[in-house]
Amino acid sequence: MRIKADWTTYLHDLRRHEMEVVFRHCPKKIFPKVLELGAGDGFVSTILAEYAHELISTDMNAERLNMADRENITFKICDAENVVDVFKGQRFDMIFSSSLLEHLPDCDRALAQMHQALTDEGISIHYLPNRYWKLTTILLHIPNKLAVLIDKATAGRLFKRRKGHKWFKAYKERFGGNNMKVGRRKQFFLAKPLLPRI
């Protein structure tokens, strides 16, 4: 019996709902050329592709983007702060990101680069977490840790060493967080079990 919900399933359901809200009244294939920044695991890319004739999905982390190109989706490594340099001369009808901008060290530069890469009639859509999300994350962190401990105890794995995703473990060891360009700040010894990383 599990108490804690599967985070990936929850996150995909949340992203699916966000996309339905934003694109509810848009016809399929309305945008000729779309650029997605910070594609992560590519789940949103598959939904976004329904509204694009051509979609280029990007992320800085090559290990996250080890997906094969699909019919109208091309995966490419790109830093959101260097869009113009990566896509020299290309223009996009829409630029999209989900929970990316808050992780960038120079958000103004990224937005300026995106603006230059848009067509004259192009639009940008960016999802950002709000203060409520941060408050909820902080308040639910300890109950989440408790649920993980209960799940491990009931599965007989409480004192066994945890093996995480290989790519994520290597990523954390090399880069220390969600943005490879920003180092991890030092924390006091109780920070990891008591405070969420937001």
Which domains are delineated in the chain? 7-127 (3.40.50.150), 131-194 (no CATH)
DSSP 27: P
Please provide the average confidence, as pLDDT, over all residues in the chain.
83
**Sheet hosting strand 92-98, strand order edge to edge:** 73-77, 52-59, 31-37, 92-98, 118-127
For 112-122, how does the pLDDT look when each residue is reduced to its tens digit (9 = 90+)? Answer: 999 999 999 99
**Range from 40-49, 79-88, 125-134 carrying the lowest mean pLDDT:** 125-134
Give the global pTM. Answer: 0.74
Q: Summarize the confidence of residues 31-40 as an average pLDDT.
A: 96
Q: Summarize the confidence of residues 88-110 as an average pLDDT.
A: 94
Q: Summarize the confidence of residues 40-57 as an average pLDDT.
A: 94
- Per-residue pLDDT at 184 exceeds 80: no
Q: Summarize the confidence of residues 78-99 as an average pLDDT.
A: 95
Whether the CB-CB separation of 53 and 62 falls below 8 Å is answered with no
Q: Summarize the confidence of residues 132-138 as an average pLDDT.
A: 78
For 144-176, how does the pLDDT look when each residue is reduced to its tens digit (9 = 90+)? Answer: 778 878 877 777 665 555 555 554 455 455 445
The Cα-based distances of 124 to 25, 92, 107, 115, 161 in angstroms read: 17, 10, 14, 8, 44
The token pair that represents 61 in the structure block: 């982390």
* CA–CA gap between residue 11 and residue 4 (Å, rounded): 14
